[in-house]
Amino acid sequence: MPDTMLDSAVITSAARLASRAPSLHNTQPWRLVAKGDGLHLYLDPHRVVAATDRSAREAIISCGALLDHLRVAMAAARWATSVDRFPNPNNTDHLATLQFAPMDYVTEGHRRRADAILARRTDRLPMTRYADWDAFEPLLRERLADSPAHLDVLDEDGRADVAEAAALTESLRLYDSGYHAELEWWTTPFATEDGIPQSALVSAAESERVAVSRSFPVTAHTDRRPDIHDDTATLVVLSTDGYSREDALDAGEALSALLLECTLSGLATCPVSHVTELHASRDIIATLIDRDACPQLLIRIGIAPALTSTPPPTPRRAVDTFLTFEAAKTAETAETAE
């Protein structure tokens, strides 16, 4: 990544756009370091939600989503990205090193995909099923064809089982004080740079019409989308061959690709991760997919009627809080250090 080819302003702009990636409770658990040898992506262990995500699996999924968002942002800026995953076996928090090379041409598709990063939002309200899903599903599978992650679309018979898994998760966590303390912390009414703002949550009446959702603290919203009596969004499962850190990163990259493809097609999305956080509920989801694989998370996909008042974007940290630039060592500096 020579300075003569790629300046810091491009990296900063791409990182700022990529930070719109979804993350558990909007914790944004990533750290980027730009050096002469590339852009390095790290997990920030200080931003892992410990009681909810003990293995940091969901945090790494979040970082995987950022990684794919970065590729999309850089492509729109006319830079192709190559990725070396887990380059340091002695530091598993070092998730990837990115190298960039100039592209010959930026297509309209590259630009639209970058625009989709800004248009995407997590929609926790009830949705309706997309009538043309059978035509859309092959497009989604094509987008994920090169991913190690697997995509399974659940049929209507599986909806009740997923709702059962969601209810089981809530029941098992009923007296988990650490979990509830974290949930309350990350849903503070005063969210300014991270966490989930009240505007992104739902009221009790709205929550009752979405059977597959995490139970967040309810808000005082009026009942929005009252004509949708029950959520009928399509439920899809992203899974991998294992639960390693590599698998979690793969799942995050696939999540990003899926969310952006849905956004480009005008569909609303809502990642649902709590049903795969505990073994008991995760086992229920595993019985519903058509392969011997490890469920990483679900996504609700559907049609979301426009609201009279669109919630503001969820907050993000300033780019300089997670992106740093380190000068490359010269031979003279390296010799002095030795």
How confident is the model over 302-311, as pLDDT tens digits? 999 888 777 8
Looking at the structure, do residues 37 and 175 belong to the same domain, yes or no?
no
Check which CATH number belongs to the domain holding 327 and give it: 3.40.109.10
Whether 323 maps to a domain, the answer reads yes
* Residue 328 contacts residue 36 (beta carbons within 8 Å): yes
Looking at the structure, do residues 159 and 284 belong to the same domain, yes or no?
yes
Looking at the structure, do residues 15 and 140 belong to the same domain, yes or no?
no
Confidence of residue 189 (pLDDT cuts 50, 70, 90): confident
pLDDT tens per residue, range 223-278: 889 899 999 999 999 999 999 999 999 999 999 999 999 999 999 999 999 999 99
Instruction: Specify the number of domains making up the chain.
Output: 2
Tokens coding 220: 């005082």
Looking at the structure, do residues 91 and 162 belong to the same domain, yes or no?
no
Looking at the structure, do residues 283 and 139 belong to the same domain, yes or no?
yes
Whether 126 maps to a domain, the answer reads no
Looking at the structure, do residues 332 and 218 belong to the same domain, yes or no?
no
Query: What pTM did the predictor assign?
Result: 0.94
Which residues constitute the domain of residue 62?
8-119+317-337
**Chain-centre distance for alpha carbon 109:** 21
Confidence of residue 338 (pLDDT cuts 50, 70, 90): very low
Looking at the structure, do residues 291 and 150 belong to the same domain, yes or no?
yes
Which are the contacts of 15, defined by CB distance < 8 A and separation ≥ 6?
32, 70, 73, 319, 322, 323
